[in-house]
A and B are shown apart, each in its own frame.
Chain A
């Protein structure tokens, strides 16, 4: 794998191999601190995300790499430098990989066409967030052993969610069934043709789910009239305690974070016994180590 631009198009064996590597890292595994020793991994975050950036940074350090952190704040981007200028300038400093987070869907693809080093998509616009999907799948696989035949329900703003897209590709490739649920305004056309079951009736699908993933609701969508109010969204699509009661006893709850507690997920559910949200965070570094190892080979 030269780049990791998205989950779409990856084969099951590619994904399984990454998850197996992550498993080895999680257990301490063989010492990997020499793998990228003397090499530089550049974090290019055109959009803020302390959580993802820190996770990649820790993963790179664990492999012995130096990390160059680059953010748009006070950078030449605000002076009109284009994405390609920036990427080429950073590349000139000789990193083995560029980890790119960007507001525009496809920005890492553009970068990858113009650089020699590896490009890792750390979230592009409303397209994909592959490392997040891998750590979600990793978390579920550790609980279940296998995803085959499982049903994962993803609830919320599907339209604008890169997490939903990456998870759809990842989970279905690993043998799970994915149900996408949200208000009709947040369900873009063609999701079925990508392999999902689509519904706006949350209560009808809850009892079938082996896991529920709540997506962060961006409240600015309210002013764009995708839904009338956060309160109404919460009433219709929030995972509250009463809804959680209707889940299978062993069903799991995930959230890619950061959470709007009380909007898409009730605090009692987020902190309850079904929640694997903190495991997701903990697994992030191991999965990203596996990704860096793979693309920097």
Chain B
């Protein structure tokens, strides 16, 4: 195995370091050695001809559900990592709502061991805010941090108890840890199964009003201002939330946010004739919300594109709409959906790359996300003009719950490199062992 790799003449976009242009990228021993405008001559290097391609920092997904331990039928850490690298992601943050919940060193160590075995992408851990995600007692945050957790979250559930949320924001400052929040006031969302609006009325489905999210964002901004903690708002879905986060940032609060490809692509009409693949939480909102989220992505209000990759089996989805589980797989369609927005002109290519790389890295203080000399050689090579059709049957993920099956998307991942190792190329996983 050659430990020197030369990516020749690709268009390198590295937002953190202000690079956008044709460059040669030299990798040595798993790290970026040099990025050069002039062609490099290197002896014994493995050469990757990247002309006409994008050479990007590997993508980082702050929000994935790998389902292991507990629901290996839906996904395992291995298949989740395969889906990640197939989608161009070199790092993912694994949510704690496994069975058992990751609220302990034991579960953290288990996930890390499985990730090491998979040996595909970096797997970072999110620990629970509260024991068992019960929203009652704080989990042992210090132990979780020492076991490698990079944030804490009860994702999937809000912390309804405001006093507990306030103390979590305070206590997490011991570790300068971001507290990631699923913003939902359960008394407002009630038994809702989709966005409240014209479509829910027409279909006779119980609606979730935007206020269920916005009211909690408002509450947490108040708590954040008071505690001076660090807050990360997961899967922002509506206009009101974008506005509140924008104002909070303007006032200097330490808040970051993410949005998912499905929330900036689909509106609630995607539910169509009760398509459970369009059932997710927060629900798909309206055109106006999509526009607001896209504006937030473009102007820096939202820091990261995250997939909320949430695998579910057929049994959870091929049921009555109100009995279906929430969630959609996202790792293998994220790039295409993002580039589709670039193509529509709502986002610059540079900003899109930043949202997949630099933004998430900075939000959680993760290594990677850029290509300065010394950075880990996590690199994604993209063919920007190649169009492809989403075929969920060909996903590396073990689950197929996507509303995007059959959609034409731009941008194919040609190669994914992690620490200078080629882990995915032309539709195939490389050296998974």
For the complex, give the distance between the alpha carbons of A82 and B203 in Å: 22
From A14-22, A188-196, A272-280, give the one contacting chain B: A188-196
Answer whether residue B318 sits at the interface, using C-beta atoms and an 8 A cutoff.
Answer: yes
- Find residues 153-195 in chain A having any chain B CB closer than 8 Å to their own CB: 162, 165, 188-191, 193-194
Q: How far is the CB of A10 from chain B (nearest CB, A)?
A: 14
Told that A104-B322, A109-B274, A125-B205 touch, could you supply 10 new A-B pairs with CB distance under 8 A? A8-B202, A83-B319, A84-B319, A105-B203, A106-B205, A128-B204, A188-B200, A188-B207, A189-B207, A190-B202
For the complex, give the distance between the alpha carbons of A124 and B202 in Å: 13
Contact assessment for A106 and B319 in the assembled complex, using a CB-CB cutoff below 8 Å: no
* Neighbour of B197 across the interface among A109, A124, A189, CB < 8 A: A189
Answer whether residue A101 sits at the interface, using C-beta atoms and an 8 A cutoff.
Answer: no
Q: How far is the CB of A66 from chain B (nearest CB, A)?
A: 28
* Neighbour of B196 across the interface among A8, A83, A128, A189, CB < 8 A: A189
Answer whether residue A110 sits at the interface, using C-beta atoms and an 8 A cutoff.
Answer: yes
Q: How far is the CB of A33 from chain B (nearest CB, A)?
A: 35
For the complex, give the distance between the alpha carbons of A127 and B319 in Å: 16
For the complex, give the distance between the alpha carbons of A106 and B274 in Å: 6
Answer whether residue A102 sits at the interface, using C-beta atoms and an 8 A cutoff.
Answer: yes
Given the interface pairs A105-B203, A188-B201, the reply to whether A82 lies near B273 with Cβ below 8 Å is no
Answer whether residue B198 sits at the interface, using C-beta atoms and an 8 A cutoff.
Answer: yes
Q: B273-314 vs A: 1/0 string, CB under 8 Å?
A: 110000000000000000000000000000000000000000
Contact assessment for A102 and B320 in the assembled complex, using a CB-CB cutoff below 8 Å: yes
Most buried by A among B202, B207, B273, B323: B202
Contact assessment for B204 and A194 in the assembled complex, using a CB-CB cutoff below 8 Å: no
Given the interface pairs A165-B202, A188-B201, A190-B202, the reply to whether A107 lies near B320 with Cβ below 8 Å is yes
Residues of A within 8 A of B320 (CB): 83, 102, 104, 106-107, 110
Contact assessment for B201 and A162 in the assembled complex, using a CB-CB cutoff below 8 Å: no
Residues of B within 8 A of A190 (CB): 197-202
How many residues on chain A are close to B (CB under 8 Å)? 24
* Neighbour of B318 across the interface among A84, A124, A127, CB < 8 A: A84
Residues of A within 8 A of B322 (CB): 104-105, 125
**Which residue on A lies nearest to B198, using beta carbons?**
A190
Q: How far is the CB of B181 from chain A (nearest CB, A)?
A: 27
Contact assessment for B200 and A106 in the assembled complex, using a CB-CB cutoff below 8 Å: no
Answer whether residue B321 sits at the interface, using C-beta atoms and an 8 A cutoff.
Answer: yes
Contact assessment for A194 and B319 in the assembled complex, using a CB-CB cutoff below 8 Å: no
Q: How far is the CB of B268 from chain A (nearest CB, A)?
A: 10
Answer whether residue A71 sits at the interface, using C-beta atoms and an 8 A cutoff.
Answer: no
For the complex, give the distance between the alpha carbons of A191 and B198 in Å: 7
**Which residue on B lies nearest to A104, using beta carbons?**
B320
Residues of B within 8 A of A126 (CB): 204-206
Contact assessment for A162 and B204 in the assembled complex, using a CB-CB cutoff below 8 Å: yes
* Neighbour of A106 across the interface among B197, B203, B206, CB < 8 A: B203
Q: A101-142 vs B: 1/0 string, CB under 8 Å?
A: 010111101100000000000001111100000000000000
Q: How far is the CB of B316 from chain A (nearest CB, A)?
A: 11
User: Which 9 A/B pairs are nearest by Cβ-Cβ distance?
Assistant: A190-B198, A127-B204, A106-B274, A104-B320, A126-B204, A105-B204, A188-B201, A190-B201, A106-B321
For the complex, give the distance between the alpha carbons of A165 and B197 in Å: 15
Contact assessment for A127 and B198 in the assembled complex, using a CB-CB cutoff below 8 Å: no
For the complex, give the distance between the alpha carbons of A130 and B167 in Å: 53
Residues of A within 8 A of B207 (CB): 188-189
Q: How far is the CB of B302 from chain A (nearest CB, A)?
A: 26
Given the interface pairs A110-B274, A188-B207, the reply to whether A104 lies near B201 with Cβ below 8 Å is no
Residues of B within 8 A of A102 (CB): 320
- Find residues 1-34 in chain A having any chain B CB closer than 8 Å to their own CB: 8
For the complex, give the distance between the alpha carbons of A84 and B203 in Å: 20
Given the interface pairs A104-B323, A107-B320, A125-B322, the reply to whether A191 lies near B273 with Cβ below 8 Å is no
**Which residue on A lies nearest to B274, using beta carbons?**
A106
Q: How far is the CB of A225 from chain B (nearest CB, A)?
A: 11
* Neighbour of A194 across the interface among B201, B205, B206, B318, CB < 8 A: B201
Q: How far is the CB of A2 from chain B (nearest CB, A)?
A: 14
* Neighbour of A189 across the interface among B201, B205, B206, CB < 8 A: B201
For the complex, give the distance between the alpha carbons of A102 and B322 in Å: 12
For the complex, give the distance between the alpha carbons of A194 and B204 in Å: 13
* Neighbour of B203 across the interface among A83, A127, A191, CB < 8 A: A127
For the complex, give the distance between the alpha carbons of A102 and B323 in Å: 12
**Which residue on B lies nearest to A193, using beta carbons?**
B198
Residues of A within 8 A of B315 (CB): 82
Give 9 pairs: A residue, B residue, CB < 8 Å, sorted on A. Answer: A82-B315, A105-B204, A105-B274, A188-B207, A189-B197, A189-B198, A189-B201, A190-B201, A194-B202
Most buried by A among B199, B204, B315: B204
Q: How far is the CB of B220 from chain A (nearest CB, A)?
A: 26
**Which residue on B lies nearest to A111, using beta carbons?**
B320
**Which residue on B lies nearest to A112, using beta carbons?**
B273
Contact assessment for B319 and A82 in the assembled complex, using a CB-CB cutoff below 8 Å: yes
For the complex, give the distance between the alpha carbons of A124 and B321 in Å: 12
Contact assessment for B204 and A191 in the assembled complex, using a CB-CB cutoff below 8 Å: no
Given the interface pairs A83-B319, A104-B321, A107-B320, the reply to whether A125 lies near B204 with Cβ below 8 Å is yes
Residues of B within 8 A of A193 (CB): 198
Q: How far is the CB of B18 from chain A (nearest CB, A)?
A: 46
For the complex, give the distance between the alpha carbons of A18 and B355 in Å: 56
Contact assessment for B319 and A110 in the assembled complex, using a CB-CB cutoff below 8 Å: yes
Q: How far is the CB of A192 from chain B (nearest CB, A)?
A: 9
- Find residues 322-366 in chain B having any chain A CB closer than 8 Å to their own CB: 322-323
- Find residues 169-223 in chain B having any chain A CB closer than 8 Å to their own CB: 196-207
**Which residue on B lies nearest to A129, using beta carbons?**
B204
Q: How far is the CB of A156 from chain B (nearest CB, A)?
A: 15
Contact assessment for A165 and B204 in the assembled complex, using a CB-CB cutoff below 8 Å: yes
For the complex, give the distance between the alpha carbons of A252 and B70 in Å: 60
Most buried by B among A82, A83, A105, A127: A105
